[in-house]
Amino acid sequence: MYQQRLLAPVLRQAMASFPAVLLTGPRQSGKTTFLKHEAGAGVDYVSFDDPLERDFASLDPQGFLQRFVSRAVILDEIQYVPHLLSHLKMRIDQAPGECGRWLLTGSQQFGLMRDVSESLAGRIAILELPPFSHEEFLRPALNDVLWQGGYPVVALNPERRDMWLRSYVATYIERDVRQIRNIPDLQVFNQFINLAAARHGQAFHAADLSRELGISQPTVKSWGGVLEASYIACFLPPWFRNYGKRIVKTPKFYFLDSALVNLLTRQPDAAAALAGPMGGAMLEGWVVTEAVKVFMALGRKPDLYYWRSNDGLEVDLLIMIKGKLQSIEVKLTATPGAGHAMPMQRFITTAGDEAWPQGVLVCSVAENRLLPQGHQAMPWQLFPQWLHKRLN
């Protein structure tokens, strides 16, 4: 059964406007299935996971591409043959008006983005497909949402969850990590992933992780970049009026999929995960990553921040919407009160005209409720669709 993806209209627009489209995202997020479904039956398909195809493209790139002179083709996992991109550029330049001919996928951002920008600048649209968002795969219970996450295999086959997630982590460490970075001690990197999962929703302090693991701070930051480059995690920068401060100050850290957090932090079951000490961080992480997915579904880079005052008040999420910052607080409560809106009101007063005048508290209420000073309490399950409409 094919599950419709929100990115489909953006993909169709890109295929009508560019000779090539690159679809990136984590492994097993559904990229190949999505492209095959949207491109239709008349499109060829090649996977560079196949060593024979990889060798053909490496040894005879012109002969490899000559196979597709009259048909569009999906070139899956293009990061394995980066040198093919320069030959692809020559093909595109021979027929620059032929759009939607070359559909590429890749599971990493580091080298792939560099190679694409160097070879195909102006000729390629770059889109991102994360695991299922809540809009794409609705589930009514919050504990199920957080426990199962959004990877299509788990969402569609929840009975396979535990074995699939364990295999995914093991495969990721052995495969992607070795390709992105030369990490000599994979056991230490595995420990790093587990410690990072325990810090889901917290500030990413490289010094603390450095001390616990016995490695340097630059190594910790580099490994955090590995998680980001392979779409396992994302960083949320702090908001300052001074853009330079946003770059150097400590970001917050989130795994892109809550099921991996539950696995790596050894949560026993869905109910215990939500009721335990990480329950609030789990919900906060879900809201942040759903916001990331909404931006990706629109073909846009996420424009997201958090804010912390000098005296410790914090707004969990700031979203740039139509040139102004929308403040979002996240609380695992069904009885919101005026105190929950206080950090948002402080930020709005501080930011002035740069902020929307009302904040939103995402929580476990049954329906939308007004809070003092015009702020709004919103049921968690309504947040993704609300944001999608606001950004459109």
Do 73 and 186 belong together in one domain? no
| pLDDT in the model for residue 116 | 86
pLDDT at 247 over 80: no
| Domain final position from 128, 150, 174 | 128
The strand order across the sheet containing 233-236 reads 202-203, 252-255, 233-236
| pLDDT in the model for residue 70 | 82
Do 69 and 160 belong together in one domain? no
Number of separate domains in the chain = 3
pLDDT at 248 over 60: no
pLDDT in tens, 93-116: 998 889 999 999 998 666 677 778
Model confidence at 243, pLDDT cuts 50, 70, 90, reads low
1 found inside a domain: no
- Residue % of the chain over a pLDDT of 70: 97
For 86-96, letters b (16+ CB in 10 Å) and e give ebbbebbeeee
pTM equals: 0.95
pLDDT in tens, 179-228: 777 787 888 999 999 999 999 999 999 999 999 999 999 999 999 998 99
Do 23 and 77 belong together in one domain? yes
How is residue 123 written in tokens? 């000729």
Model confidence at 245, pLDDT cuts 50, 70, 90, reads low
Do 290 and 347 belong together in one domain? no
Report, as an integer, the average pLDDT of 317-326: 98
Model confidence at 4, pLDDT cuts 50, 70, 90, reads very high
Secondary structure (DSSP) of 112-149: HHHHHHHHHTTTEEEEE--SPPTTTS--S-HHHHHHH-
199 found inside a domain: yes
- Residue % of the chain over a pLDDT of 90: 84
191 found inside a domain: yes
Do 213 and 166 belong together in one domain? yes
pLDDT at 137 over 90: yes
Of 219 and 119, the structure prediction assigns the larger pLDDT to 219
How is residue 86 written in tokens? 């320069």
Do 197 and 310 belong together in one domain? no
358 found inside a domain: yes
Do 241 and 316 belong together in one domain? no
| Domain final position from 297, 317, 343 | 297
Question: Could you give phi then psi for residue 348, rounded to 5 degrees?
Answer: -60, -40
Do 147 and 258 belong together in one domain? yes
| pLDDT in the model for residue 310 | 87
| pLDDT in the model for residue 39 | 92
326 found inside a domain: yes
Do 278 and 220 belong together in one domain? yes
Do 267 and 330 belong together in one domain? no
The domain that contains 369 carries what CATH number?
A: 3.40.1350
| pLDDT in the model for residue 179 | 72
Q: How far apart are the first and last CA of the chain?
A: 28
| pLDDT in the model for residue 136 | 98
137 found inside a domain: no
Do 36 and 148 belong together in one domain? no
The domain that contains 246 carries what CATH number?
A: 1.10.10.10
Domain that holds residue 59: 8-128
How far apart are the C-alpha atoms of 77 and 106, rounded to whole Å? 5
Do 218 and 81 belong together in one domain? no
| Domain final position from 276, 297, 318 | 297
The domain that contains 100 carries what CATH number?
A: 3.40.50.300
